[in-house]
Amino acid sequence: MKCVVNKYGSKISKSGNRIVIESKDGVFESSIENIEQVLICAPSSITTEFLELSVKNNVDVVLLNKYGKPVGRFFGNGIEKTALKRKQLKLTENWAGISIIKEFLSEKIENQIEHLNNISKENISEGSLSKSISKINKSKNMLLEIKGENIAEIRDQIQGLEGSVSKIYFRVLSKSLPKKYQFNGRSRKPAKDYFNCMLNYGYGMLYSEIEKICIISGIDPTIGILHTDGQNRKSFVFDYIEKYRNIIDKIVYESFLNETIKENFFKEVERGYLLDEEGRKHIISKFNGYLNMKVKKYGKTYTMADVMQKDAYKLSERILRS
């Protein structure tokens, strides 16, 4: 179970083998054995006893900022996989790294095309949509044809193509929405419109999930391939998240298309908007619903969260073989 702390001034502590969350709505208690992750989305107080209990039981405790981006987490030490880290460091120098990045981005673009093929046609013509999809397909083919000895040689080309696809994709998404929800490109910190506001928060939660599955599978989230390293920057998470962004894209798009969002989901701040408590509840609920969805894969039935974790294990094995 994922536990979300979304109330301002909550207190998180422990009693025996149980976590205790006190808020203005009352008290929530649960055995630590039932908890997989604790997401802290609002200013709260935490006891060290709670953190110790969580770490000992491999419960992931994540602190999210107002944009939904994880700014810190407590997680069990696990086993450091030195051989995997050595291989990961070499991915910027060889063809294996280029191949992995091309696959991530190719899958992202294919997901975007699939999404565009299923959007509402009420506010956009079939001809305009087909033309946009054709341009995106052309960029994907150009991406796959890029050649180089290492990622540094082709980084600018890849990121340029990725950027052009993103502009077309979000322009079409915007046009297909009801006019009151249409937006002018991507905006961040803060978002200039409701759509980007919810999208940014969703990406932040997805980032946290990707970071977690990397850590569990032994992949170092700080050693990127396409995205460069930096202080406190989880570069590999920025690489790996690309193939999964469509999860949030679809959740947010459907919310706006079906007009299930409300004005009180958002609060206006200087130069833009942030998600308020009700808005955070909405996107967190939708995202958790997706992660808990049952699918058949690898010959068995798993939750989507389990599938994502298994895919990360397969990626770590691939990196070791590179």
Per-residue tokens: 269: 């701040």
Judge whether 162 is annotated as a binding position.
yes
Is residue 197 classed exposed, middle or buried when 0-12, 13-18 and 19+ CB atoms within 10 A define those classes?
buried
Rounded Cα–Cα distance for residues 308 and 65 (Å): 24
Q: Which of 244, 237, 236, 207 is nearest to 91 (CA)?
A: 236
Judge whether 282 is annotated as a binding position.
no
Rounded Cα–Cα distance for residues 2 and 39 (Å): 7
Judge whether 33 is annotated as a binding position.
no
Phi/psi region, residue 225 (left: phi>0; alpha: psi -120 to 50; beta: rest), is: alpha
Per-residue tokens: 153: 């040689």
Per-residue tokens: 73: 């987490």
Annotated binding-site residues for Mn(2+) read: 162, 227, 242
Annotated binding-site residues read: 162, 227, 242
